[in-house]
Chains A and B, each alone.
Chain A
């Protein structure tokens, strides 16, 4: 796979030059958000990049049928989301007691919140807590963690009203907060 030198699609593609240039611009503009959407589901760089590649290949395949007037970013986000859900692996198991112990130790040592949040145990704990949420709450929350994803865009990807997205996000954060408080208090929420 060519990585080093920049590639121009119009050089070798059997497409019209304006189409190749347009597709190239779409890739350069939206590849990062597509990657992040895939990563929010897959939690793995390799799988997220595979899903990104597949998303743009599908985009190229359906290029002629895609309405240029429509928001291509929304189409890409929706496709990446569905592809990532199809490839979604099983969540890794993490001991709630071990995670709570690690967080308590860091906090007792005077570590700032950002450092605690960056800890591997805390990331695994959050991943497991999100996985325990019901699907209606989990999906908007996962998409909301992607940078640059606004509430209308999340609503477009999930096919639900914008107001429902906001309501579900609030509810999901509330549930997560309650579960996290219970765990840090030394109780098992399950």
Chain B
């Protein structure tokens, strides 16, 4: 085979191969499948559009409710503790023995309904907390008050048993210490000399 014939064969083979390269026929019904797919995609898109609008509306409603609630919410803290419970006159005299224990002091002010307060009221409430004494005396808690009451007015039978037992114990007899003289040691030392 000469070069010219070989070159011609390569030319023909390349042309034939390239002409076949993309000369394909799609499966029948391509247009119908494309249209059906486009229809389904359009329906999906419409559904997502509606769902998106609904979701946006719900989010906007929630944001509005949140802003409305925050704007109508009281920013004043709870009322401060009263300092009347720590006044010296109110404290019971612990040295009085059977002194009557005053009723429990309420250290926490009852919670009041939330109402709008002005800033001026807040300042007044805070100044009540500052006493001239440092450190500021703390109010006695309920537990501390119960402990004081227990010590001064113990329940019956708690302290009576140790008192009865102590009555039966005989009195301790203490004799003087007698130390006998060391007679033998004295005689031995005399002999050695």
Q: Mark B29-46, 1 if CB is under 8 A from A, else 0.
A: 111111111110111011
Instruction: Please measure, in the bound complex, the distance between the C-alpha atom of A13 and the C-alpha atom of B38, giving whole angstroms.
Output: 9
- Please provide the chain A residues from 143 to 190 with a CB less than 8 Å away from any CB of chain B in the complex: 144-147, 173, 176-177, 180-181, 184-185
Q: Which of A4, A9, A107, A127 contacts B35 (CB 8 A)?
A: A9
What secondary structure prevails in chain B residues at the interface with A? helix
Q: Which of A48, A56, A122, A147 contacts B38 (CB 8 A)?
A: A56
Q: What's the interface size class on A, roughly?
A: 35 or more
Number of A-B residue pairs at CB separation under 8 A: 132
Q: How many residues of B contact A (CB 8 A)?
A: 36
Is A16's beta carbon under 8 Å from chain B? no
- Please provide the chain B residues from 136 to 155 with a CB less than 8 Å away from any CB of chain A in the complex: none
Please give, as numbers and ranges, the residues of chain A lying within 8 Å of B10 by CB-CB distance: 177, 180-181, 184
Is B175's beta carbon under 8 Å from chain A? no
Please give, as numbers and ranges, the residues of chain A lying within 8 Å of B33 by CB-CB distance: 1-3, 49, 53
Minimal Cβ-Cβ distance residue in A for B45: A61
Q: Are the CB atoms of B27 and A7 closer together than 8 Å?
A: no
Q: Are the CB atoms of B22 and A145 closer together than 8 Å?
A: yes
Minimal Cβ-Cβ distance residue in B for A130: B21
Q: Which residues of A contact B (CB under 8 A)?
A: 1-7, 9, 12-15, 23-24, 27-28, 31-32, 35-36, 39-40, 45, 48-49, 52-53, 56-57, 60-61, 103, 107, 113-114, 116-118, 122-123, 126-127, 130, 141-142, 144-147, 173, 176-177, 180-181, 184-185
